[in-house]
Structure 1
Amino acid sequence: MTTDDKATCAKSLELMAIGTLEEMAEVFAPDALNRESKAEPAATRGAGPEAFHATALWLREAHSDLRWEVRDAVQEGDLVVLHTTMTGRQTGPFTAYDENASVAMVFPPTGRAFSVTQTHWFRMREGRIVEHWANRDDRTLGEQLGWTPPSPVYLAKMLLARRRARHRA
């Protein structure tokens, strides 16, 4: 392993915010797995750059000005860990999915900014990412965006948004 692995992992987060599929193919191996895709759309649940690009598009649909600031990077063998702060603004609906990739919940846009800590774990092989998983502070994210606790009006908006999303699916 090289110190370039840490840079590759940091680059992968930048690409989640602004990267193309072609750029993602440079950092994600063809068989790369995202262990976090269980609450994401069906297109994200495969392997390789295409699945990670689908995750990026899903996140970008809900959030503008998305970025990750790397606070610390540690490597032990083929494992790289990045402690980050994710920031952005919720300008679109955020849709969460169940284990069958069906719409579980929709959080309508609030226009609010957020800043939350996350720890991303990457397994590397030959300079590319082959596995990713994360620990996220989703509770703080929900509080900052006004999702939790939801006001009665926002709760009604959530239910209507979920109904529309399920109807489109």
Structure 2
Amino acid sequence: MNTIIEHNRRLLTSYFEQVWNQGQVDVLDELLATDYINHSPSTPNPPAGPAGLKPIVQAMRAGIPDLHYDILDMVVAPDKVAVYTRVTGTHSGELFGMPASHRKIDVRQMQVEWIRDGRIWQHWRITDEAALVRQILGQEPVQP
């Protein structure tokens, strides 16, 4: 059991560091199940598998080239990992239709990743997207 827990911890750490922080989208082929499902409310029904997540990562990194995820907390089980993250960066490119504002962003996310056969199989995420948009529009200061 401890080996599975440690594997899942490493899997999620790699996912955030290599994919989101460094933009290495090809790593998704190793980290995600071929039938991976993304349940994020802001991107309804993207294609299944790694191919469905790659353009989302690329769009986020194009809009926020210095995008960085800090793992603030992680609860690891044999079949699920809950991750609380801090997302920071500078909105210096187009982001899902919003032109660059050159403003800093700093928001929190709660994610639950379901693990099957050693890979991320399903993804559930809650982000304070209203705060993100207000920060991009300059209507809300970035959190300290």
Whether these two folds match at TM > 0.5 is yes
Larger radius of gyration: 1
Aligned position for 2:39: 35
Aligned position for 2:81: 80
Q: Deviation of residue 7 (structure 1)?
A: 2.1
Aligned position for 2:101: 110
Q: Deviation of residue 50 (structure 1)?
A: 1.4
Structure 1 range deviating more: 115-124 or 70-79: 70-79
Amino acid at match of 1:65: D
Give the 3-state SS of the residue equivalent to 2:67 in structure 1: strand
Task: Verify the 8 A CA contact 2:90 2:104 in the aligned structure 1.
Answer: yes
Aligned position for 1:70: 71
Give every structure 1 segment of 4 or more consecutive aligned residues whose post-TM-superposition deviation is greater than 3 Å: 38-41
Aligned position for 1:167: none
Aligned position for 1:138: 129
Residue by residue over 1:73-113, the C-alpha shift from the partner in whole angstroms, topping out at 9 and shown as x without a partner, is 00234111000000111011122xxxxxxxxxx32110011
Amino acid at match of 2:130: R
Q: Pairwise mapping of residues 18-29 of structure 1 onto structure 2 (< 5 A)? A: 18-29=22-33
Unaligned 5+ segments in structure 2 are none
CA distance in 2, matches of 1:129, 1:26: 9
Amino acid at match of 2:46: R
Aligned position for 2:15: 12
CA distance in 1, matches of 2:49, 2:138: 32
Residue by residue over 1:90-146, the C-alpha shift from the partner in whole angstroms, topping out at 9 and shown as x without a partner, is 011122xxxxxxxxxx32110011111101110001211000010101122122211
Unaligned 5+ segments in structure 1 are 96-105, 150-169
Give the 3-state SS of the residue equivalent to 1:64 in structure 2: coil
Equivalent residues, number: 136
Greater helix share, 1 or 2?
A: 1
**With structure 1 as the length reference, what TM-score do the two structures score?**
0.72
Amino acid at match of 1:7: R
CA RMSD between the two structures: 2.0
Give the 3-state SS of the residue equivalent to 1:19 in structure 2: coil
**With structure 2 as the length reference, what TM-score do the two structures score?**
0.84
